[in-house]
Structure 1
Amino acid sequence: MESRRRPSTAESDPSTYDYLPQDYVLTNQDATAQDIILVSSENETVVSMGGFSVKKHHLSCLLSKNEWVNDDVISAYIHCIKEAQSKTDKKVYYENPFLIAMLQRDAVYIQGVQKHLDIITRRQDLPSHEWIDLNVVTWPIIEQLQVKIQLDGSSCGLFMLKFMEFFTGDKFSHPVTQKDIELFRYKLAGILLCWKTNMAAEASDVEQVEDTDNEDDVVIVGSRQRERWDMKESKVHSATNDHKYSSLLSVVSAMSLQELIGGLFQYIQQINCAETLENIWVQSSRPHTIKLSLKTLQSVLNDGPLDRNCFNMAIRKFMYENVQSLHKTSEAITKHCLDLQFWTATGFGISPMFHKDIDLAGSVGSWSKIHHEVAKCKSILIPVCAVGSYILVILDQESRTLYLLDPNPLNPIYENNPTMRYTKKLLNITNYFNRAMCVACPGSRWTEDIDLWRHIYVTNPVADSNLSGCLVHLFMRSWKDGALHLPSFKDVDELRKQFLLHLLMYEQNECASNVPSGARDFLHCIANAKH
């Protein structure tokens, strides 16, 4: 079969494929097609041609290098091969994999073929043909490949498709390597969705955009049913800078986890358009609305103190995931984490006329849609933030102990009496906490006077108090059974990156569609690498 290249005719539609490309570089329409797969509903048909309907959950295998390729996907590409085949080229006939199920049922492959040929040859009305010998079980078997070329356990279907495409009848027209196949997996999604006879594309056309040097260009998913796509929030942001995105998915899929994380944050830090920096990337509305713009998220990687909203969102994400995980295992929820709402409600260090109107009892209650009884929790963790410095107060009900964890360097003014720096804060907390619990958990042990509990101060200062927000977040996640179980991290940069990654991977993010597809590709691959 001769090599196929893009037709140069004026009639050729640049937004569709009417040929089988021999390179594997992702175009803008390929990247957009992958995003369409990601945002489509699981049972939505996104490819329909040749009598085959391929749904989103069938195509998801093309976005992960560790999954076998679905038979529906294989059949759709075989249909593309048939349509790309020259009308005068009758040397090769292509069958879809559903026939194999029938042959395997009747016998083992070649014997199954022979069984059905024997049935056909007994027909009286057998059409004329040029097959001299129909006894295929006696034919010589010639191995075209003498050396193993598949290096993984999931690409066999993709290799088979390329063998079918490149087989001329007695040899292969092109060599195929494992690297080719890894790139072909991602290219295949674009070919199928943008194929010229894909009937599903009539309701969701992919419009092509020119490559430019503007990193904020957007690829729009056009549609004859545009309102339907708008309801799905499928307007796809696609960075088209050649340095970033000529073949992003094929590149990031081969990266290690640390390379992926580094690449993601390099991508994020390179965005400097003032309008783009104001876009909301992370948002959650329950129990109160928090919005994080790209500019705010970028600040996490800088040297300043941690933004309060970033901290609150991180605690919300942790509590949501922790409680949902424990519910699945029917384990008791023993640790309740507050965000900074409670501390803000106390109005510490602020004139009463500037106090924010925050429900004090609500600030210590259960998280919205995260059902657990706070009164039955063994410990409550209260973060405190004053002038950009964070500390953590932990109330352990069973041992009646108040732990205070402070990662900040000691102010020389308190050198002779280090605990004095906490006195006013603790009096403020114990006063308001008791009032809040009398409303939120009346009659529970949490209404006791915690001023009378034992106090334990744990200080492990770092050189920079600007890191205290990330560290207190880490303390809250790591506290268990009266002790810290801290994970290791290489340096300050890694600590900040892990915190930001925690925010960006929030499953309940209401603005995930605002994140450019380039960043979403990194996040998708990072999630796969973590699992």
Structure 2
Amino acid sequence: MLNYMEYWTSHALSDQFTQEDMKHFRQKLAVILLNSELNKLKGGPIYHQPDDQETLANSDLNILDNPSDVVKDKRPAPITIIPTDQRELLAGLCNYIMSIDDAGCLEKVWVRSSTPDPMGLSLNKLQCILNIEQPMDNDCFNTAVRMLACDEGVLFTYPPVHYMDLRFCSMMLESTRGQKFCEKETIQTLATLFDSWPGMDNDISSCNKIYLPYASIGRYILYVIEKEARRLYILDPIQTSQSNVPGYFVFHFMLWWNGKELVKPICRDGYELRKQFLLHLLKHRGNEAKGNFLDIVKELLKRII
């Protein structure tokens, strides 16, 4: 019952849990109750608190057992104290991911989607998302867009919308080199990129809005074609002075632009955008590789709303 209350969003459960998860939750529940500010006996004679341990903040921390699957040799030390603040949870998750340096773990696929096309991202590639020296990776961008395009909320949007990844842009840039653009085969191939995603019923001709991202030499722009109104919107994050982040702005434009405005404010901090992008990939219901997460990562993701 308590887990239903924690994960119910008024429409659906934000996460799934099993009977095995309940065993761990029993231990956490005891800690939550003992550390609660409403616990009037906390600090009393029957509440054991060793003198040689630093007192933890009452409402900010939960103490957990060490995850079972963290090896002792190369993987980072397990997080035994998990914050409850959402920003601290996300920061802790990203810091933990960046601290992993085990070669075998880095090669594992942490984000995988077989719909509409098979794509996978290794932990090593996900770490690059959090590296401020690295620009947006096209594979990461395309994977995120394809997962967005196949999201249930998008599939039932009316009138339908169509999300395109960077393949059209990449092929356009390639075709303009030399005389390739004039070749009939190139034009026909470009046209196929406007087709519906494999396995999806919505034909692009029935879509009112088409989201078309563009990327070249670190420059990202989003074009939104609104057919009924015969309008073209150009969303260009040119105002940011931060390098290597325009791609993250453009993806969030695709998430929150409704044809008139951004329905949700977009953070101007480049590193925060990177963290939100990574969180989108990891938590998305279409991510088929969640079984490869370390236990502590699973726990942190459960707590991030």
- TM-score, reference length from structure 1: 0.43
Contact 2:110 2:290 in 1 (8 A): yes
Aligned to 2:221: 391
Question: What is the letter of the counterpart of residue 296 of structure 1?
Answer: K
SS in 1 for 2:120: strand
2-structure distance, mates of 1:342, 1:507: 26
Contact 2:116 2:198 in 1 (8 A): yes
Aligned to 1:500: 278
Q: Is 1:373 aligned with 2:203?
A: yes
User: Which structure 2 segments of 5+ residues have no match?
Assistant: 1-15, 39-45, 50-57
Q: Is 1:282 aligned with 2:111?
A: yes
Question: What is the letter of the counterpart of residue 340 of structure 1?
Answer: L
Contact 1:300 1:500 in 2 (8 A): yes
Please give the residue correspondences for 1:505-516 in structure 2 after superposition, counting only pairs within 5 Å. 505-516=283-294
Q: 1:297 aligns with which of 120, 126, 150?
A: 126
2-structure distance, mates of 1:385, 1:359: 19
Q: 2:95 aligns with which of 266, 270, 274?
A: 266
Please give the residue correspondences for 1:9-408 in structure 2 after superposition, counting only pairs within 5 Å. 57-63=18-24, 213-216=72-75, 241=77, 244-245=78-79, 247=80, 251-252=81-82, 254-302=83-131, 303-321=133-151, 324-325=152-153, 331-346=157-172, 347-350=174-177, 352=180, 359-408=189-238
Q: Which has the higher contact order (CA 8 A, sep 6+)?
A: 2
- Give the deviation of 1:310 after TM superposition: 0.6
- Give the deviation of 1:469 after TM superposition: 0.4
1:189-213, CA deviations, whole angstroms, 9 ceiling, x for partnerless residues? Answer: x9xxxxxxxxxxxxxxxxx89x964
Contact 2:116 2:146 in 1 (8 A): no
Question: What is the letter of the counterpart of residue 471 of structure 1?
Answer: F
Aligned to 1:483: 261
**Structure 1 residues 479, 278: CA separation in 2 closer, same or farther (over 3 Å shift)?**
same
- Give the deviation of 1:495 after TM superposition: 1.1
1-structure distance, mates of 2:249, 2:278: 13
Moved more, 491-500 or 282-291: 282-291
Contact 1:333 1:372 in 2 (8 A): no
2-structure distance, mates of 1:59, 1:274: 29
Contact 1:278 1:293 in 2 (8 A): yes
**Structure 1 residues 344, 64: CA separation in 2 closer, same or farther (over 3 Å shift)?**
farther
| Identical counterparts, % of pairs | 29
2-structure distance, mates of 1:469, 1:491: 13
2-structure distance, mates of 1:357, 1:280: 35
Give the structure with the larger helix fraction: 1
SS in 1 for 2:245: helix
Question: What is the letter of the counterpart of residue 235 of structure 2?
Answer: L
Question: What is the letter of the counterpart of residue 525 of structure 1?
Answer: R
The 4+ residue runs of structure 1 with deviation greater than 6 A are 355-358
Aligned to 2:55: none
- Give the deviation of 1:317 after TM superposition: 2.1
SS in 2 for 1:264: helix
**Structure 1 residues 274, 463: CA separation in 2 closer, same or farther (over 3 Å shift)?**
same
Aligned to 1:135: none
**Structure 1 residues 312, 398: CA separation in 2 closer, same or farther (over 3 Å shift)?**
same
2-structure distance, mates of 1:503, 1:389: 22
- TM-score, reference length from structure 2: 0.71
Contact 2:221 2:235 in 1 (8 A): yes
Question: What is the letter of the counterpart of residue 256 of structure 1?
Answer: D
- Give the deviation of 1:470 after TM superposition: 0.2
Q: Note the aligned Cα RMSD (angstroms).
A: 3.9
Which structure is larger by alpha-carbon Rg, 1 or 2?
Answer: 1
Question: What is the letter of the counterpart of residue 521 of structure 1?
Answer: E
1:333-360, CA deviations, whole angstroms, 9 ceiling, x for partnerless residues? Answer: 432111112223333444549x999954
SS in 2 for 1:484: coil
- Give the deviation of 1:176 after TM superposition: 8.2
- Give the deviation of 1:331 after TM superposition: 4.9
Contact 2:142 2:166 in 1 (8 A): yes
